[in-house]
Structure 1
Amino acid sequence: MKQFLKHTKKQNQYLVSLFSVGLVSILCLLIRDLVDYKVVGYVLLVVVSLLAIFLEILPVLLAAIISALTLDFFFIKPYYNFHIDKAEDALLLLMFFVIALINAVLTYKIRKAEQIVQVKEARISTMKLYNTLLDSLSHELRTPIATIIGSVGTLQGKSVNLSEANKAGLLSEMEKAALRLNNQVENLLNMSRLESGYIQPKTDWCDIRELVYNVLSNLNENLQQHKVSVKSNDYLPLFKLDYGLTEHIIYNLIYNASLYTPKGAAIAIEIKFNPDVPDGI
């Protein structure tokens, strides 16, 4: 399928190349008696240069060849044949063809070099982001692991006499740490899947306010010691988004807020709709 699309795209580029040269040639043909053929040559050269900025190398080379043939056939006397009487005209046509080819190749190479630089910069930015996220995740993973190991060690310790309430408390801490650890691992896996393209967002119309309240309901136990408020516009439209991924993002934000704020702290959630922003939210 990808190769078919690539092939179709290249076919379209050939058509664009032929259409551009043909259109300019017809326009120049209408005023052939008013302008010198050298001017037509410059115009066609500009067309080839512009095509080289946007198209692949082969369609541009085709445009250069067709331009040279068109210039010879329609604009250099005698018209409507490929015979050239003057050596000067033959040299000019040859120079036009060579310049068009060199210009096309150089422009294409410059464009490719810019694309390579952009890809490298994007990779560097991605690596920096990954390093930052991995550093953050490594810290996030250590905390619940340390909690689980510490609690297990305490429960297994024979020298420590624990009441049933203390044991229940340790087990509860272990459960919270395990859930937190599972959440962090799931975040990391989702990041990798999204980056590799394994997960493709499936967008559908969703009520963002309903989504937020569902997340708050799932985090009810974690938010018992916090004052949570939700503020939103009176009339919110439906938004086209991936419900599961968006729910996971909001879950992480509110969950982290519950973890890293002191007990009794207020957590304010505000949902705004801005029609001037592409996504609206």
Structure 2
Amino acid sequence: MNVAYLNTIKKEKQYLWVLLSILITVLGCFLLKNVINYKIVALILLMLVSIHAMFFTIKPTILSAILSALTWNFLFIPPIFTFHISNPEDLLLFIMYFAVALINAVLQFKLKKIEEKAREKEEKEKTFHLYNTLLNSLSHELRTPISTIIGSTDILKEYEEKISIENKHLLLQEIQIAGLKLNHHVENLLNMSRLESGLLIPKYEWCDINEEMFRFIKNNFQNNKRIEFQANDDLPICKTDIGFLEQIVINIIKNALQYTPEEKPLQIQLGIDHQILHVSFQDYGNGIPEEHLPYIFDKFFRVPQTITGGTGLGLSIVKGFTDALNGTIEVKNIQPNGLKFDIFVPVETTYINNLKNE
């Protein structure tokens, strides 16, 4: 079913709504014609045309203006049940009604067009600003590891025989770190693109969340000693999307390690309650000003006057993958200092583990 056909159906529904609403309104006024004056009926019908102009396109609105004028003339202006108007005052009133109804329809239509253009302009400006922000961030974030890789490889090629084995290992380590940074940035961009396109569909599978958490930390952070995680032995086997969960964990940990002092730990805890998996991350940094907390999941948002680094995509990706799992995420400052993220994701648990826990 193509877009043109869908638009045709939508327009046909507008015509149908115009006909039904005028029929119901006219019928109601006709039943009360001994109570309300025909001039009052004109105001009621004119209000109905205005409502149509607000929600429908120009052609259905013009149809509303014409039908309302004709039915008002035929059923309410003396002599009724005829289109003849004997009173010059009534004739002038009819002409004015018809003119006002048409002008109202056209003006409302033009107003909607102006509003649409204003919205489009605002969206374009917003998109342009976001792309500028992204390019400015990437120009720094990508240039640094690329320069490191190029510089290190040039040194290895030019001074291969003069460099000690220890220095070679250091240069190779720098290349590896820079490569991992590049891979992380590219992966974040791809993930954001997939999230916005709606192409990511969860693939649920049974897993041991404790084991997966250990794997995430080992593979991505080389068992960084700042990351404190102890397995929850009471946690049942759960069914969720491991890939989505990994992206959530990686991006929150990277964010915490980047913006907290090097000597401060990051604590991770797991729990489950009524088939809701709870993953909490608590750091001991400076926290975030309360006025900025509602915006930290927005794309490219970075708290003002923070250290340089990062594209501002990490936490928005966390929010996107959490939403994809039908979960929720909460963030709050911890006194005296620190920030805590709480992820709540619905999961299915095994029957055997449920019996064991009971």
Q: Is this contact kept in 2: 1:151–1:171, CA < 8 A?
A: yes
SS across alignment from 2:142: helix
Please say which of residues 91-100 and 181-190 is displaced more in the overlay: 181-190
TM-score by length of 2: 0.64
1:147-205 Cα offsets, whole Å, 9 max, x none, are 1112112211338623333323322321231232122223334445666x4x5343577
CA distance in 1, matches of 2:205, 2:11: 39
| Alpha-carbon contact 1:49-1:103 (below 8 Å) kept | yes
Question: Are the counterparts in 2 of residues 73 and 80 from structure 1 also a CA contact under 8 Å?
Answer: yes
Alignment match of 1:280 (pick from 325, 328, 333): 328
Per the alignment, residue 216 of structure 2 pairs with 218
* Cα 1:150/1:113, change in 2 over 3 Å: same
* Cα gap change, 1:9 to 1:189, in 2 (>3 Å): same
**More helix, by proportion:** 1
- CA RMSD across the alignment: 3.6
Contact persistence 1:226–1:258 (CA under 8 A):
no
User: Are the aligned partners of 2:22 and 2:68 in contact in 1 as well (CA < 8 Å)?
Assistant: yes
- State the one-letter code of the partner of 1:90: L
Matched residues in 1 for 2:202 and 2:71: separation? 50
**2: distance between equivalents of 1:249 and 1:129?**
23
Give yes or no for contact 1:73–1:81 (8 Å, CA) kept in 2: yes
Aligned residue for 1:129, secondary structure, equals helix
Mapping 1:55-204, distance limit 5 Å: 55-158=56-159, 161-192=162-193, 197=197, 200-202=199-201
Cα distance between partner residues in 1 of 2:8 and 2:239: 36
Structure 1: 5+ residue runs without aligned partners?
Answer: none
Structure 2 gap segments, 5+ residues each: 270-278, 281-322, 330-358
SS of 1:220's partner is helix
Equivalences for residues 241-280 of structure 1 within 5 A: 247-248=246-247, 250-258=249-257, 263-269=262-268, 271=279, 280=328
Matched AA of 2:201: K
Equivalent residue number for residue 4 of structure 1 = 5
Evaluate the alpha carbon distance shift between residue 143 and residue 7 of structure 1 in structure 2; reply closer, same or farther with a 3 A threshold.
same
Which deviates more from structure 2 when the two are superposed, residues 134-143 or residues 78-87? 78-87
Q: What number of residue pairs does the alignment pair up?
A: 271
TM-score, normalised with respect to structure 1: 0.80
Secondary structure of the 2:127 match is helix
Whether the 8 Å contact between 1:227 and 1:265 is mirrored in structure 2 is yes
The residue that corresponds to 1:50 in the other structure is 51
Distance, in Å, in 2 between the alignment partners of 1:245 and 1:175 is 25
